[in-house]
Amino acid sequence: MSAAAPNRAMVLAAGCGERMRPITDTLPKPLVPVAGRTLLDRALDHLEAAGVAAVIVNSHYLADQVEAQVAARVAPPVEISREDVLLDTGGGVAKGLPRLGSLPFFVVNSDALWTDGVTPALGRLAAAWDDSAMDALLLLVPVAAAIGYDGRGDYDRGDNGRLRRRGDAAAASLVFGGVQILHPRLFDGAEVEPFSLRRLYDTAEDAGRLHGLVHDGAWYHVGTPAALAAVEDRLTAAR
């Protein structure tokens, strides 16, 4: 197991939020408010609570707005990685890698919206990390429990925690929750260019080093304006 929880993180906030239009015509998706707090701030709140000492936030679409929102926060300390060309998830992390250090780090999608179970999800991920066996550890949500999600799932998980991507199968039991721990070695040979993290997950899966942890709290898929309204209703009722 890792000796300590990751103290660095990256939040992916550069995307255009195409499915959230017309809201995102003038507002970047990370700044969409959900039950009174932006998606980006909710992600940063989790990292702050986990004691993360440094966070990289990437920006591209309506970048000035994202950067102004981050600048208004006191904690956690945030650096911006602005992308003149949208680098996708893998390229975005590769660009931020020099500032993320040589140890495992958190990566959080800015639109990942979750509430913790008994133990915070980031703490559970850190406790489950095994550096000798893993290059990537993904937070997963049972498809049946993923609020607002209507897809076919992403992965199945073996008893040993290793993941198998759905591929050509009709469905998988778990959906990736947009929260993870990655080791820098996963990016060996990767260039700073547009590519998806999925490519690196597949490499880790082939090597038996892609693992998953099933989330024990609530998780919400906020993909469209209709889904946003439904999620707001659920969060407001829960609060």
Distance CA(81)–CA(84), nearest Å, equals 10
pTM reported for the whole predicted model: 0.94
- Residue 195's pLDDT is what? 97
The model's pLDDT over 107-122, given as tens digits with 9 standing for 90+, comes to 999 989 999 999 999 9
Domains in the chain, number:
1
1 found inside a domain: no
How far apart, in whole angstroms, are the C-alpha atoms of residue 207 and residue 27? Answer: 40
Query: What confidence score (pLDDT) does residue 239 get?
Result: 66
pLDDT of the residue at 233: 81
Q: Which domain holds residue 232?
A: 8-238
**What confidence score (pLDDT) does residue 63 get?**
95
Dist. CA 142–CA 215, nearest whole Å: 8
Phi/psi for 170 (5° steps) reads -65, -35
Residue 181 within a domain = yes
Cα–Cα distances (Å) from 222 to 19, 120, 195, in that order, read 10, 21, 23
Hey, which bits of 152-230 come out as E strands?
Answer: 155-157, 163-165, 174-182, 210-214, 219-220
Radius of gyration of the chain (CA): 17
Q: For residue 194, is it within any domain?
A: yes
Residues of the chain with pLDDT under 70: 1-3, 238-239
Is residue 3 a part of any domain in this protein?
no
Which of 173, 223, 163, 172 shows the shortest CA–CA distance to 198?
163
**pLDDT in the model for residue 1:** 42
How is residue 1 written in tokens?
């197991």
CATH value at residue 138: 3.90.550.10
Contacts of 133 (CB under 8 A, 6+ apart): 209, 211
pLDDT value for 3: 55
Q: What is the pLDDT of residues 64-87, one digit of tens each?
A: 999 999 999 989 999 999 999 999
2 located within any domain = no
